[in-house]
Homo-oligomer: A and B are copies of this chain.
Amino acid sequence: MTAAKRDVLAPHQDDLASAMSYALSGGKALRAFLVLESARMNRVGSGAALAPALAIECIHAYSLIHDDLPCMDDDDLRRGQPTVHRKWNEHTAVLAGDALQTLAFWLLAQPEGPDPTTQVALVRSLARAAGHHGMVGGQMMDISAETRKTPYSLEQIKQVQHGKTGALIRWAATSGAVLAQADTAAWQALDRYGACLGLAFQIWDDVLDIEGDAQAMGKAVGKDADRGKATFVSHLGLAGAKEYAADLVKQACSALDIYQEQGDCLREAARFVISRVS
C-alpha cells in the first residue's frame, strides 16, 4: 500500500483494526487450545491447526462483542477491560464483530492451508456451528428468555447452551479429526468430549455467576439472578449444578478412551473447567 493510500484510509480503518485486535486479546483461548490439542492427538502438525485455531477465536471474539452491546446483554466490562462499545462506540463494536466473523472464514480458506476438501469441510462445519442453527440461534433464544413470562425449563436451558456455547466448543474439539480426515470413531469421541465439556463449562459459568468474584472474573456477576433468569443453578441448586458438572467432566474424560494417554491433556482441561474461578 502506498503512503498516500494509507493516509486516505487512516484513522478510521485503524480504529476498526484496533477494536478487532483488542477483542481478540486477554481471553483464556480455550477454543484455540482445543483445536491445537485435537490436532496433536490426531497427528496433525500445529502449522496446519493454526488457521482453524485463530478462526474459532475470531468467531468467539465477534460473538462476545455483539453479546455485550446495549441492545443485547449491555455489559460494560469484559475480561477486566471496557467492552468494545464502551471503549470505542456502538458502531465500531458492530463493525468490528462483523469483520471478525468474516476474518474467521478468510483464515480457513488460505492457499497454503490443508487440502481444499478439508478446508471446505471446516468452513461448512464452522458456519453450521456459528449460524442460526448454532451459536446465533442459541444467543437469540438466550436473549429472548428475559421477555418470556415463564422461565425456561431445564431442557430449554440445555438447548440454549447447546447452541450458544456448545456448538463452537464441539467444532474446536473435533477440528483435529477433520484436519486428519480421521475415522468416524475418532470424530465421535471428540464430539462427545466437546459436548460434555461445553455443557460443564456453561454450568460452571452459572455457578461463578453466584459464587464468583467480580474482580477475578473481570466482568459483572450475579446478573442472571438479578434478572430472575432461569439457569442451571436456579433449576438444580448450587450443589446439584456442581454435581452435574462433575459428572459431565467424568463423561468427557472417558469419551477419550480410544486416545488412551494421548487424551490426558484434554482430560486435564476438562477438570480445569470446573475448578476455575474466572
Expressed in whole angstroms, the Cα–Cα distance for A99 and B136 within the complex equals 6
Contact B132 A91 (CB under 8 A): no
Select the stretch in A11-19, A184-192, A215-223, A257-265 that faces chain B: A11-19
Expressed in whole angstroms, the Cα–Cα distance for A107 and B121 within the complex equals 12
Query: Distance in Å from the Cβ of A94 to the closest Cβ of chain B?
Result: 6
A66: Cβ under 8 A from any B Cβ? yes
A46: Cβ under 8 A from any B Cβ? no
A29: Cβ under 8 A from any B Cβ? no
Contacts of A137 in B (CB 8 A): 9, 13, 16, 99
Query: Distance in Å from the Cβ of A67 to the closest Cβ of chain B?
Result: 9
Contacts of A126 in B (CB 8 A): 105
Contact A99 B131 (CB under 8 A): yes
Contact A12 B141 (CB under 8 A): yes
Contact B101 A141 (CB under 8 A): no
A225: Cβ under 8 A from any B Cβ? no
Contact A98 B95 (CB under 8 A): no
Contacts of A130 in B (CB 8 A): 102
**9 CB < 8 A contacts A-B:** A9-B137, A16-B136, A16-B137, A66-B95, A71-B89, A71-B90, A95-B136, A106-B123, A108-B123
Residues of A within 8 A of B (CB): 5, 8-9, 12-13, 15-17, 20, 62, 66, 69, 71-72, 89-92, 94-95, 97-99, 101-103, 105-106, 108-111, 113, 115-117, 119-121, 123-124, 126-128, 130-132, 136-137, 139-141, 143-144, 155-156, 159
